[in-house]
Amino acid sequence: MSKLKINQKISKHILPEWLDKLIINTLDQHFKISINETKVISESIVKLSRYYLENPLGKTPWEEPWCQLAHLCYFLPLNYLRNDSVFKKCQEVNPSFKSFRRLIDFGSGLSPTAWAFKELKELGEISNPNNNLNDNLNGNPHTCEILLMDHSKAPFALLNKMGLKYNQSALSHFNDSDFFKESLVTFSYSLTEFNENHFPPWIDRAENLLFIEPGTQDDGRRLLQLRKTLLAKGYSSLAPCTGDNECPLLLHSNSDWCHDRINIEMPEWYYEIEKFLPMKNSSLTFTYLYLSKTVTRFKNQNQEARIIGDPLYENGKIRQACCRNSDREFLSWLERDLAKKNNTDFFELPERGSLYSLSAVDNFELKGKQSQRELRIKN
Ligand SMILES: C[S@@+](CC[C@H](N)C(=O)[O-])C[C@H]1O[C@@H](n2cnc3c(N)ncnc32)[C@H](O)[C@@H]1O
């Protein structure tokens, strides 16, 4: 038999053509800048990235044209891809996820969240950015009310030019008893600008909450602490967690944090701009948390493990961090078992961020202690 080839499954997340065109048109019509003016655009991105680094809790300077330019050409498309991939994972654990009738995006900016939700709703249908999600709210399952909240007015002016139909939230709505029914409240890269003490006062009334934050150690561990607080308030964590158990990364480590990574494919113009940036993004990291008070998990949690790490190759053994309860666990395979059991010369390791079904495995063995447990897959 030829030597077994082992690869990890890696999907590519591609920026949709309609968003690519929308960015180019907005740049042209609103900023009178061509997408080929890579130097102006890249300087704006570097300036805003530096601003964020130097002012970790500073407010996005939306009134500055360079900030708008950087969001339009860089943070919007990248955060769109992050939101899009998270939505697909949420949809996997809650098949009704895309049926939410109201999206409330807090700290919306150019709302990559609303654009991505729109795409999710219209899955397999028209991807027309001018298609009005707010129309025909009653009756059409593909429609949804989009409510955006941001303390700056500047992104709204830009969104109007981009043709996103949304409502600006009126605080009086938040007292209606039915307001949060079938609603999803999202925070995408906005906790970076305020802390939990400045959460909107109505947050505890939200039935479904989704946070997407940078994949750094600080942001990741902070989100894990927030999870603890929200579980105590009656929420259930649906993704990436497979249960409401204490997080093994907080329990068994002072430094680890849960974060996801996706591979991306951007339009040509993006790579031209990236040539002038100190940071290159062939992949994107982020951390996320989807919680609900009303949705229940539809699968047996211990039978499903979330893949939370990349493969570690060690002397004939492969380990990959996974999570399904409070133990620090790794799926593991011995190469010699794989070569013996598989009638093929190719073996694919699970994708980072995906769910791995243990019920589909005939035979596995638990090894080691709770803080470093191996789930040795034998077939
Ligand atoms: C880093 S941007 C993220 C924008 C967008 N959600 C995204 O994913 O690209 C953070 C946003 O939060 C907004 N923001 C910060 N503090 C806020 C507050 N207290 N209330 C509402 N919006 C706030 C900022 O104006 C900014 O648009």
- Tell me the pLDDT of the chain averaged across its residues: 89
Q: What is the mean pLDDT of residues 20-40?
A: 97
Task: Based on the fold, state whether residues 260 and 310 are members of the same structural domain.
Answer: no
**pLDDT score of 319 more than 90:** yes
Q: At which of 266, 292, 318 does a domain end?
A: 292
Higher pLDDT, 124 or 368: 368
Residue 141: which pLDDT band, with cuts at 50, 70 and 90?
low
Task: Based on the fold, state whether residues 179 and 255 are members of the same structural domain.
Answer: yes
Please report whether residue 351 resides in a domain: yes
Q: What is the mean pLDDT of residues 242-261?
A: 93
84 CB under 6 A from ligand 1? no
Phi, psi for 126 (deg, rounded to 5): -60, 130
Please report whether residue 92 resides in a domain: yes
Task: Based on the fold, state whether residues 371 and 272 are members of the same structural domain.
Answer: no
Task: Based on the fold, state whether residues 258 and 115 are members of the same structural domain.
Answer: yes
The CATH number given to whatever domain includes residue 364 is 2.40.50
Tell me what pLDDT residue 268 has: 97
The CATH number given to whatever domain includes residue 115 is 3.40.50
- CA-83 nearest atom, ligand 1: 8
164, 158 contact by CB (below 8 A): no
Residue nearest to ligand 1 atom 20, measured at CA: 151
**112 C-alpha to center of ligand 1: Å?**
11
5 CB under 6 A from ligand 1? no
**105 C-alpha to center of ligand 1: Å?**
9
108 CB under 6 A from ligand 1? yes
Query: 283: which 2 tokens?
Result: 């992949």
Q: At which of 244, 260, 292 does a domain end?
A: 292
What stretches of the chain show up as alpha helix (H) in DSSP?
Answer: 17-30, 38-54, 65-70, 76-93, 112-121, 154-162, 217-232, 248-252, 268-274, 335-341
Task: Based on the fold, state whether residues 218 and 351 are members of the same structural domain.
Answer: no
CA-atom Rg of the chain in angstroms: 22
Q: Which of 81, 150, 188 to mutate to test the pocket of ligand 1 (most atoms within 8 A of CB)?
A: 150
Task: Based on the fold, state whether residues 288 and 315 are members of the same structural domain.
Answer: no
Tell me what pLDDT residue 370 has: 78
Query: 175: which 2 tokens?
Result: 């007292």
CA angle 342, 344, 349 (to 5 degrees): 70
Tell me what pLDDT residue 372 has: 87
Task: Based on the fold, state whether residues 166 and 306 are members of the same structural domain.
Answer: no
149 CB under 6 A from ligand 1? yes
Please report whether residue 4 resides in a domain: no
Instruction: Give this prediction's pTM.
Output: 0.93
Tell me what pLDDT residue 298 has: 66
Tell me what pLDDT residue 336 has: 87
- CA-152 nearest atom, ligand 1: 25
**pLDDT score of 57 more than 90:** no
Task: Based on the fold, state whether residues 69 and 150 are members of the same structural domain.
Answer: yes
Tens of pLDDT along 180-232? Answer: 998 999 999 999 888 777 788 889 899 999 999 999 999 999 999 999 999 99
152 CB under 6 A from ligand 1? yes
Task: Based on the fold, state whether residues 261 and 317 are members of the same structural domain.
Answer: no
142, 168 contact by CB (below 8 A): no
Q: Which of 190, 191, 196, 284 to mutate to test the pocket of ligand 1 (most atoms within 8 A of CB)?
A: 190
271, 20 contact by CB (below 8 A): no
- CA-62 nearest atom, ligand 1: 25
Please report whether residue 5 resides in a domain: no
CA distance 193 to 86: 21
Please report whether residue 7 resides in a domain: no
Task: Based on the fold, state whether residues 232 and 89 are members of the same structural domain.
Answer: yes
CA distance 308 to 257: 10
Distances (CA, A) of 100 to 94, 166, 204: 11, 15, 18
Residue nearest to ligand 1 atom 27, measured at CA: 109
How many domains is the chain built from? 2
79 CB under 6 A from ligand 1? yes
Q: Which of 55, 151, 196 to mutate to test the pocket of ligand 1 (most atoms within 8 A of CB)?
A: 151
Domain boundaries, position 321: 302-377
- CA-155 nearest atom, ligand 1: 27
